[in-house]
């Protein structure tokens, strides 16, 4: 069955391939061209010589520091999520108290709160606790807004652990903490890596919170750096494209080496 080639789909796929690949090609091609060559030949041309001056300019304008800051923010967000979500999900799945059911409902409602909605009070809150213009000030709200989806994903994974395994643990006289560490965590590796990637993407790609909660060079993250670079060097297209390309590299590495985890992390609950 279904052996005839599907021409409509074929045509649509080809058009879409051009739409996706052409800008990415221009990005890569432009980033290795000098500004003069780029201006002379236009963005759609094939580079004739290779230069790394654009990447040098990017690093000269502070991107090394921005990369470090973004790594710290990402690590912080992932750390907090991995610290607080597993115990919560474990309680949601295993506790029988009405309290935990309520808390789960509460987190589900939390899914509906967009970050945009709370930036004004967040600015006030972060200011008044003295965390304005600090990386911690970005990390805390970013992690908080990742919690609902991470909780939903991880409790979904933990539900797949069969009751028999819990029974076996309790027959052996294991405490809740021991059951959590020896049974629940090892069997939830898939869910844990999904939420880690999801949290990492929130930290790595975050823009709005850093925009309103930081202002100085020393706390700048990559997304803000790109925005500033564009306002500052607006006419240096190869430089801008080199910066965009560099910002993509770490995520690309995760994509190459942990594709499944990345796809699931990107999808969040949309994938279910």
Partner 1 sequence: MTTLLPPRPPAAPDNPAKGRPVRAGRARLNRPGLAWTLPATIFFLLFAVVPLIAVVVLSFMTWTGLGDPKFVGLENWQTLAGDSVMLKSLWLSVLFIVLGVATQTPVSILLGVWASGPQRNRAVLSAIFFLPLLLSSAAISVLWRALLDPNFGVPAQLKWLFGDGNLFGHQSTAIGVIIFVGMWQFTPFHTLIYQGAAKSVPPVLYQAAEIDGAGRARQFFSITLPQLRNSIITSVILMVVGGLTTFETVLILTNGGPGTDTTITAFYMYEEAFRRYNFGMGSAIALVLVIVATAISLIMVKASGYDKMRSTMEGL
Candidates 54-62, 71-79, 98-106, 186-194; binding stretch for partner 1 (CB under 8 A): 98-106
190 is a site residue for partner 1 (CB under 8 A): no
Among 29, 73, 92, 199, binds partner 1 (CB under 8 A): 92
CB of 78 to partner 1, least distance (A): 15
Assess contact for 239 and 54: CB atoms under 8 A: yes
Number of shown-chain residues binding partner 1 (CB under 8 A): 117
Among 34, 134, 176, 193, binds partner 1 (CB under 8 A): 176
Q: Which is nearer to partner 1, 36 or 49 (CB)?
A: 36
33 is a site residue for partner 1 (CB under 8 A): no
Among 36, 50, 130, 173, binds partner 1 (CB under 8 A): 173
Q: How far is CA 223 from CA 71, 124, 234, in A?
A: 12, 23, 16
Integer-rounded Cα Rg, in Å, for the chain is 23
Residues 122-151 that bind partner 1 (CB under 8 A): 122-125, 140-141, 143-145, 147-149, 151
Cβ neighbours of 249 (radius 10 Å): 9
Q: Which is nearer to partner 1, 28 or 68 (CB)?
A: 28
Candidates 4-12, 47-55, 58-66, 189-197; binding stretch for partner 1 (CB under 8 A): 4-12
Instruction: Give the three-state DSSP class for 228.
Output: helix
- Give every CB contact of residue 94 below 8 A, 6+ residues apart in sequence: 158, 166
Q: Which is nearer to partner 1, 2 or 49 (CB)?
A: 2
CB of 109 to partner 1, least distance (A): 6
The burial of 220, by beta-carbon neighbours within 10 Å (0-12 exposed, 13-18 middle, 19 or more buried), is given as buried
Cα distance between residue 245 and residue 264, in whole Å = 23
Among 58, 73, 77, 91, binds partner 1 (CB under 8 A): 91
Among 135, 169, 192, 197, binds partner 1 (CB under 8 A): 169
**Residue 89 structure tokens:** 């999900």
Among 40, 60, 159, 181, binds partner 1 (CB under 8 A): 159
97 is a site residue for partner 1 (CB under 8 A): yes
Residues 47-76 that bind partner 1 (CB under 8 A): none
Cβ neighbours of 36 (radius 10 Å): 9
Dihedral sign (CA 214, 63, 229, 222): negative
Cα distance between residue 15 and residue 9, in whole Å = 10
What dihedral angle (degrees, nearest 10) is formed by the CA atoms of 248, 254, 260, 261?
-100
93 is a site residue for partner 1 (CB under 8 A): yes
179 is a site residue for partner 1 (CB under 8 A): yes
Residues 217-256 that bind partner 1 (CB under 8 A): 222-224, 226-227, 229-230, 234-235, 237, 240-241, 243-244, 247-248, 251-252, 255
DSSP one-letter code for 172? T
């Amino acid at each position: 069955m279904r052996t005839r080639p599907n021409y409509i789909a074929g045509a649509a796929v080809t058009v879409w391939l051009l739409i996706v690949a052409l800008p990415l090609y221009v990005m890569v091609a432009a980033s290795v061209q000098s500004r003069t060559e780029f201006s002379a030949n236009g963005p759609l041309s094939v580079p004739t010589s290779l230069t790394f001056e654009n990447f040098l300019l990017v690093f000269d304008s502070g991107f090394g520091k921005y990369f470090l800051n973004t790594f710290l923010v990402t690590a912080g967000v992932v750390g907090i999520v991995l610290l607080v979500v597993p115990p919560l999900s474990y309680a949601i799945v295993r506790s029988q108290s009405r309290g935990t059911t309520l808390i789960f409902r509460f987190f589900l409602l939390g899914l509906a709160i967009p970050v945009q909605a709370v930036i004004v009070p967040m600015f006030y809150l972060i200011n008044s606790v003295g965390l304005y213009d600090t990386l911690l000030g970005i990390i805390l709200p970013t992690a908080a807004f990742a919690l609902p989806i991470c909780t939903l994903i991880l409790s979904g994974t933990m539900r797949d652990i069969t009751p028999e395994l819990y029974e076996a643990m309790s027959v052996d006289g294991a405490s809740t903490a021991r059951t959590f560490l020896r049974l629940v965590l090892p069997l939830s590796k898939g869910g844990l890596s999904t939420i880690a990637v999801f949290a990492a993407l929130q930290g790595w790609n975050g823009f709005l919170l850093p925009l309103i909660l930081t202002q100085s060079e020393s706390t700048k993250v990559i997304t803000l750096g790109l925005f500033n670079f564009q306002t500052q060097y607006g006419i240096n297209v190869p430089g801008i494209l080199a910066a965009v390309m560099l910002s993509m590299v770490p995520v690309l590495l995760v994509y190459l080496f942990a594709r499944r985890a990345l796809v699931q992390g990107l999808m969040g609950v949309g994938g279910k």
